[in-house]
Structure 1
Amino acid sequence: MYKIIGLTGGIASGKTTVSDYLKERGYTVLDADAYSRKTTAKNGPAIPAIIEAFGKDIIDNNGELDRKKLGSIIFNDAGKRRELNEIVHPLIREMMNADEQKFIKEGHVFLDIPLLFENGLDERCDLVVTVFVDRDTQVKRLIKRNDLTAGEAEARINSQMPLTEKVQKSDCHLDNNGTVEELYEQLDRFTEELESL
């Protein structure tokens, strides 16, 4: 019987690297961030409610969502972050659920969801895997990847459940403090076990 596997982690923990490797190995990975981008794309289904909640200046001259401006608001204001999540998350869930039902007939399905535990979606999964790094590594990678200040990086990390807590709640965890090769080796072991279930 095929499994629904929740894949989570923290910002800049390496979850995308894991997702990409799983896809290369032929697994179906449904990425919540990709669905989020669809809902918030130009003329996407979430845009009217986002304009209503955050004002017209959240849209740039091309009619696109100004993600940097929105990010600076929501990562520093828990109330605004909650408001955005209430708009976007139901739309994401609807799209992901439809695809999950389609693909689970063909094989294991990984749900790549950063806020898996925060939104109680771990309860829908047969297994949960968390990709983790230590806090210093996470801050350094985020500063480098997103060209942020240390304060901005800390604010984004603090907006999520601590990785140590996610690891405790998981069935399996992947340590991404080392090399990519070491991460892939852990992932290979996990998928071998998965296929033997």
Structure 2
Amino acid sequence: MNIGLTGGIACGKSTVSAMLVERGANLVDADRIAREVVEPGSPVLVQVAERFGREVLLEDGSLHRKRLGELIFGDEKARKDLEALLHPPIRARMRERMAAFEREQPDKLVVVDVPLLYESDLAHMFEHVLLVYIPEPLQLERLMQRDGISEEQARKRIAAQMPIEDKRALADFVIDNSGTIAQTALQVDKFWQERGLE
């Protein structure tokens, strides 16, 4: 079985994915893959530099994420151009890793951590979607604490994603991460047992 794991920013996806891995799941991390496809010398990074200019590269040839972020923030066309370059190779690599895990360990759950799963219209890739949920006021508080940013900056980042309540309505399973780590772990155990993953 494979599941897409998602949530809003600062909802605790990493915590829940780590708990699933501890229980024996295999993890495919979309964020890690997104970094891999733009490693120095990769064809994708060459295309990004061709589209956005050499200033998106650091001296060592790696991607200057901050500069690229500044160029696409608030520029819809630039953001769409970047997505058109990055999304196909990221999705291809995600599918390759999922297929490899399913081939090598068919009895193990494959968890694919995709932060913007619904925003990128990827739910069809998975048998089920598991959402890590916290209510928006708590999301705001945790994001400000985690990243040391102002309330205004945190609100902007949250507003750039689909509202957490909309994601909750779409998900097949929900882990409420607004309590203690122990309470979250109990829900992960329940999910694990109900799926017959013992």
When the two structures are superposed, what TM-score results if normalisation uses the length of structure 2? 0.89
Distance (whole Å) between structure 1 residues aligned to residue 181 and residue 73 of structure 2: 29
Distance (whole Å) between structure 1 residues aligned to residue 138 and residue 69 of structure 2: 21
Partner of 2:43: 45
Runs of 4+ in 1 over 4 A off after TM superposition: none
**8 Å CA contact retained: 2:109, 2:197:** no
Deviation digits for residues 114-166 of structure 1 (CA, Å, limit 9, x no counterpart) = 12112221112111111111222222222232333333322222111111111
Distance (whole Å) between structure 1 residues aligned to residue 151 and residue 42 of structure 2: 32
Q: CA RMSD in A?
A: 1.9
Distance (whole Å) between structure 1 residues aligned to residue 10 and residue 117 of structure 2: 16
Partner of 1:121: 122
Relative distance call for 1:96 and 1:150 in structure 2 (3 A) is same
Distance (whole Å) between structure 1 residues aligned to residue 74 and residue 154 of structure 2: 11
Relative distance call for 1:181 and 1:109 in structure 2 (3 A) is same
Relative distance call for 1:32 and 1:143 in structure 2 (3 A) is same
When the two structures are superposed, what TM-score results if normalisation uses the length of structure 1? 0.90
Relative distance call for 1:179 and 1:73 in structure 2 (3 A) is farther
Partner of 1:76: 74
Partner letter of residue 109 of structure 1?
Answer: V
Distance (whole Å) between structure 2 residues aligned to residue 52 and residue 150 of structure 1: 36
Instruction: Provide structure 2 residue ranges, at least 5 long, that are not aligned to the other structure.
Output: none
Instruction: Provide structure 1 residue ranges, at least 5 long, that are not aligned to the other structure.
Output: none
Q: How many residues align?
A: 195
SS of the residue corresponding to residue 6 of structure 1 reads: strand
